[in-house]
Structure 1
Amino acid sequence: MEIAELQDCAERVFADDDQTTVLLVTAFKTGDPLVLTEEPAAYTPSAPSDLFLVKLVVGPGNPGPADAPSTSPGIGIEIWLPPKSAWNGRLHNIGGLGGNDGGAHSLPSQVGWFYAALVAGHEGAVSASTDSGHTPTNGAWGMSPDGTPATQLWIDFAHRAMHEMAVKTKALATAFYGAPPRYCYYEGSSTGGRHGYRLAQQYPEDYDGIIANLPTVDFTRWYLAHLYRELVIERDLGGVPLTEEQLDLVSNAAIRSGDVVGGEHLGYILDNEASRYDPTRDPDVLCTSDGGNNSSQHCVTKAQAEAVNKLWYGVTSDGSVPNPEVDAGVGVTLNDRLWYGLTRGTSLYVAYFTKRDPRMREILRANKDSGDSPSADFAALVLQDPTIAGPSFLNATGNGQSRWRGMSYADMAELYKRGADMESAFAGISSDNPDLSAFQARGGKLLSWHGWNDESIPVQTSMRYYDRVVEAMGGLQPVQSFYKLYLVPGGGHMSPHGTSNESANPPILTPSQLYEHLVDWVEHGIEPERIEVTSPAPTPDSITHPIYPYPRKAVYVGGDPRIAASYTSS
């Protein structure tokens, strides 16, 4: 009975919207595989409870040849609804994932991303996700067949898809349940984190509460910084990357030099800002041929050690790097940098997932061999030259030829300037506007966390944005009345931890922990302050620590360094 009613609601709600098409209305029973085909895909979860699914596509999209990566019917949206008797009165939408996002949401025969379904099934909230207006291809989706930016797709990806998802979800929920949601929440990480900040900046009325974690707020500079790291290998090491063992050797040495608290090695660095480790001066990692003591096959030369220093320091216009004792690159101030590097002890090849997922290792290896690189794809979009990208980047004006490999450090500096000039063509993809006054005025609350050992997005980007918001909005106190940022030592990018130390077990937020604090803040006025986090693995080395709203941080005061009671805030 309810499925027929939902079908009627969907048709009525969007009947006068000439850009919105209802692709599918269907139901899943508890335990059903969350697929729309007869053959379940690998790793397909089951419905945790009875659920309804409504799939929409919102135009105008980007018409074009059927085989062009930029051809799109529009923004695909999946809305998951619990039965009327199970609805908790909330809307809890989920952001995109991955640098370019994308998905199967606009295909009537496939489920796009499962997380929104699990949120709806476990919580009883209405939940939705979107493909941001394009399919999950490489960066070629952003270039029209004539080589120019695919303008509508950039608008959809930058901000419109998230706004349309909020509008459509609210409208359908109101019609189906007979009342609007009492509270509306958004939660996203990485690209979804950027989307969360953009919603607060541009669409402050869409949500009562927003969680925006480890965000690509400075999208353009973040993507090009990835390319810089690859260019360091090309220019300084002749294109021969360090092995995983060499990277682990240096990164783990950095951890051991700075992870002692209360006389014990924690296995990860608690105070990254104090780390000044320099592998070019560490005989234990340097090869004997370069004056070191390490005679193993995994030793590093001074040139390789200096290359690692460059990856830690960040992007410079000439490939230079200062003495770490003078400037280790950990601070928020850029100085002579164009953008940040990764913090010491962070895995430089995403060790946590690479060592556990053979498929990821093969993908990364294949990309290195072929010359494919997501960051090179973005450089091709900035320069409007597809030949800069790897061979999988296809366009009618030419295909990728990995010409990024021939770029110099001076070329990279020019690329950064060009990237800034292209922001308007990419719909202001770097969602870094510090003015959140409209979101504050409507009573919205914003929570965010970022790991100190994020393998993809340097933690300083979140710190820098927060500092700019404080400067723009009258100081720390008014900002913290609605927006708090938490920094997590050892925290990685969508991984339990981001360190190079395989045995590390740093404490992190649980998947629902920040959301529970946001609900308490929005609905009950309980403002989060000190939050205790716990190691995800229940081992004898399990650790608890407190985290505090930035710029405060946990400071050891005595006792067992593995328990939260041994810390206060500075």
Structure 2
Amino acid sequence: MKKLLPLCAALLLGCASTYAQTPTIAPATASPATDARVSAIKALQIPNGTITFAQRDESPTFTAPDGKVQNNLPPRTIVKLVLNPAKGSNINVELWLPDAEKWNARFLGLGNGGSAGRINPLSLAWPAASGYAVATTDMGTAPNADSGVNNREVWKDFGFRATHLMTVAAKQIITAHYGKAPEFSYFNGGSTGGQQGLQEAQRYPQDYDGIITAIPAHCRTPLHAYFLWNDQILKKTPFTKEQEAAVIAAGNEYMAARETPPVAGKFVSDPRYTGKDAEAVIALALKKDPSLTPAHADALRKLFDGPRHTVTGERIFNGIPFGSSISSAHGHLYLFKWVFGANKKLEDINFGNDIDTYTAALGPYLNAENPDLSAFEKRGGKIIMTSGSVDSIVPTHATLDYYERVITHVGSLEKTQSFFRFYIIPGMGHGGGPGIQNTPNLLDVVRAWREKGTVPEMLHGKRVVNGKTELEMPLYPYPAKTGWDAATSSFKAVDGPRGGVERVAPAFRPAAAE
């Protein structure tokens, strides 16, 4: 997705780039005024924080240790700081501040990916090149996810605190540097960054004027229970690449009758399905690949259904979407180590008492499930939220249901869409996928909505392969869908169904806590 996150900077799969050393910064030959501004930043008193680095850089090019390059950078001041709001909390933050004449008077907060723990400096380069004062954080989980083992302060930092404190400190530094506060502030994140964005809207509505929350891992503890559920199943009954391909093809073929002609059989646009649909896909997969056994069929029933509580039968999370990767839908099990310790055997964790313990410990901090966005809406805030229809890493079911719960709380779809719009992107996975891979720069879209009142009634989606556009498709805000006009052989908006997914039980969405 073109500058959506940028996507790889915020994907759950660990695309948050790492770097073993701080890239070399070429110090500028600065004017006395510039030196004074840098000195003023160094002298700032940050609540519960310390500025560890402040230096101006005039190089027009930034090269990350992995060789990726960003050109056309303006002269900028780079600032690093550490925040310690509590014993056991250690949050790293980095800002890039373009020189005043290049600054667009806007602040951009960037989300992270996976378990975070590192800052990707390249993610700061393109916003700085576009004129933004930009900041990101490691979410307090450095040097790796094991930092959260039995450390409740890290749970709070990762869940909500690091992003908010980054935002507060960044605005303080920006105001000191430019002599005025940002005119507008935006947040852009996906996956873990999507969790961060929704936490901001729910807990700290004053922080941002507009938020992009893409493929958001907001239903965090149930999502990782889904990973564990799949992990335990796939360890007992693994699938070969060929078998997985047959299952994906079966899902695409079975759902083809519900698709528009240009995409039928290529991918699944609407991830909602029933148990009857699942049985039909399993039967078709068995026909496609005779090596699939009855054990594989039983495993697929559980994978497509998703985890339930073994005692109460309550829904913990939904299952793997048709047409999506099975092999990507497990792992990411660090949260269980946080609660049960590094030595706990993951295969021994049960979906009864153990899941209750895990949910009670982490859910109040990590989950961003509060449908009350009234304070954010009243201040004029705008949210654009997206999900991929074939994303098996953060399936869209819980996100769709969250949006429905917001509608119920607000009172109507129309009022909800006046400040919050949700798009299910056909054929998109967790970055890439067989369908739409590119949308407009959603930062530009949310800015135009917030600042000019330009409502995003439709987005233009594309699939581009080797520089060639293979598919163009209009994307409409849920519950509308992309339909087909047979008379003109073109796409059109059609009314789509509301809901249609089983709700994660309230027991697994505990109320937020500080």
Cα drift, residue 7 of structure 1:
1.6
Cα drift, residue 567 of structure 1:
4.6
Structure 1 residues 263 and 32, CA gap change in structure 2 (3 angstroms): closer
Structure 1 residues 468 and 174, CA gap change in structure 2 (3 angstroms): same
Paired position in structure 2 for 1:45: 69
Paired position in structure 2 for 1:135: 142
Write the distance in 2 (CA, Å) between the matches of 1:158 and 1:294: 43
Structure 1 residues 52 and 250, CA gap change in structure 2 (3 angstroms): same
Paired position in structure 2 for 1:547: 475
Write the distance in 2 (CA, Å) between the matches of 1:266 and 1:538: 22
Paired position in structure 1 for 2:266: 267
2:346 to 404, 413, 428: 404
Write the distance in 2 (CA, Å) between the matches of 1:253 and 1:293: 8
Cα drift, residue 115 of structure 1:
0.8
User: What is the one-letter code of the residue matched to 2:473?
Assistant: H
Residue correspondence of structure 1 range 119-268 to structure 2 within 5 A: 119-121=127-129, 123-138=130-145, 140-143=146-149, 149-234=150-235, 239-260=236-257, 261=259, 263=261, 265=264, 267-268=266-267
1:477 to 401, 414, 420: 414
> Which deviates more from structure 2 when the two are superposed, residues 186-195 or residues 512-521?
512-521
SS in structure 1 of the partner of residue 390 of structure 2: coil
Paired position in structure 2 for 1:357: none
TM-score norm. by structure 2 comes to 0.82
Write the distance in 1 (CA, Å) between the matches of 2:459 and 2:271: 20
1:507 to 436, 450, 461: 436
Write the distance in 2 (CA, Å) between the matches of 1:338 and 1:282: 22
Q: Is 1:381 matched with 2:381? A: no
Structure 1 residues 301 and 152, CA gap change in structure 2 (3 angstroms): same
SS in structure 1 of the partner of residue 208 of structure 2: coil
Deviations 1:63-94 (A, max 9, x none): 5xxxxxxxx6x211101011111111111110
Structure 1 residues 344 and 282, CA gap change in structure 2 (3 angstroms): closer
Structure 1 residues 159 and 317, CA gap change in structure 2 (3 angstroms): closer
Structure 1 residues 88 and 385, CA gap change in structure 2 (3 angstroms): closer
User: What is the one-letter code of the residue matched to 1:446?
Assistant: I
Paired position in structure 2 for 1:419: 358
1:4 to 7, 25, 35: 35
Write the distance in 2 (CA, Å) between the matches of 1:282 and 1:481: 41
1:28 to 40, 54, 57: 57
Structure 1 residues 476 and 34, CA gap change in structure 2 (3 angstroms): same
Cα drift, residue 419 of structure 1:
2.6
Write the distance in 1 (CA, Å) between the matches of 2:473 and 2:293: 37
What stretches of structure 2 of length at least 5 have no aligned partner?
1-29, 497-514
SS in structure 2 of the partner of residue 412 of structure 1: coil
SS in structure 1 of the partner of residue 470 of structure 2: coil
2:96 to 76, 80, 101: 80
Paired position in structure 1 for 2:79: 54
Paired position in structure 2 for 1:465: 402
Q: Is 1:534 matched with 2:462? A: yes
Structure 1 residues 253 and 80, CA gap change in structure 2 (3 angstroms): same
Deviations 1:436-467 (A, max 9, x none): 11111111111111111112111011111111
| Preserved CA contact (<8 Å) 1:262 1:559 | no
| Preserved CA contact (<8 Å) 1:19 1:58 | yes
User: What is the one-letter code of the residue matched to 2:132?
Assistant: A
> Identity over aligned residues, as a percent?
27
Deviations 1:243-301 (A, max 9, x none): 12211111112112223545553511233336865477767643xxxxx5745xxx311
| Preserved CA contact (<8 Å) 1:92 1:184 | yes
SS in structure 1 of the partner of residue 242 of structure 2: helix
Deviations 1:226-251 (A, max 9, x none): 000011234xxxx3511122111111
User: What is the one-letter code of the residue matched to 1:159?
Assistant: F
* Greater RCO structure (CA 8 Å; 6+ sep): 2
Aligned residues: CA RMSD: 2.7
Write the distance in 2 (CA, Å) between the matches of 1:157 and 1:557: 46
Paired position in structure 2 for 1:355: none
User: What is the one-letter code of the residue matched to 1:168?
Assistant: A
Structure 1 residues 427 and 567, CA gap change in structure 2 (3 angstroms): closer
| Preserved CA contact (<8 Å) 2:219 2:367 | yes
Write the distance in 1 (CA, Å) between the matches of 2:179 and 2:92: 25
Residue correspondence of structure 1 range 283-362 to structure 2 within 5 A: 285-286=285-286, 294=289, 299-318=291-310, 336-350=314-328
Paired position in structure 1 for 2:379: 442
User: What is the one-letter code of the residue matched to 2:335?
Assistant: F
Paired position in structure 2 for 1:399: none
